[in-house]
Amino acid sequence: MSSLCLQSPNGKSKVLNPPFYLAGTVEKGDGRGAKLGFPTLNIKTGNLYIPYGVYVVLAKIEEQVLKGIAHVGIIETFDINKPRVEVHLLDFKGDLYNQRVEINILKLLRQVHKFKTPQDLIVQMQEDEKIARNFLKNL
């Protein structure tokens, strides 16, 4: 992934070089990801200065490092206009509520997009997962 040029709310720009990090606490969401077949960690992070998008990530929880996909930003498909960070961990089942997680953003998969139907979103998430697994297989 190349450098990102981030602009803060005060208008100042900053160039960041990869890898990029987010950190926060896992909080309870509304279960939408699980209903779609992609359970997510909902990360309470505070202000977001990373461009909205879907990213390949590594998530560190205590000493465990897990592979995943993160959605950073609003969720237009479900009319959610408050920015959030949601992480789908690959090959993980468990409860991580109230635990601190550090997210290492490795690669931009795509920009956020409003899908016509939840089924269209599921198809895209399946494709995102294939691409992410291929990228992560050598890590």
- pTM value is 0.85
Structural domains of the chain in order of their starting residue, each with its CATH number:
19-136 (2.40.30.30)
pLDDT of residue 98: 96
pLDDT tens string, the chain, 139 residues long: the values are: 455 544 444 555 555 555 678 899 999 988 999 899 999 999 998 777 788 899 999 999 999 999 999 999 988 888 888 889 999 999 999 999 999 999 999 988 999 999 999 999 999 999 999 999 999 998 8
Q: How many other β-carbons are positioned within 10 Å of the β-carbon of residue 130?
A: 10
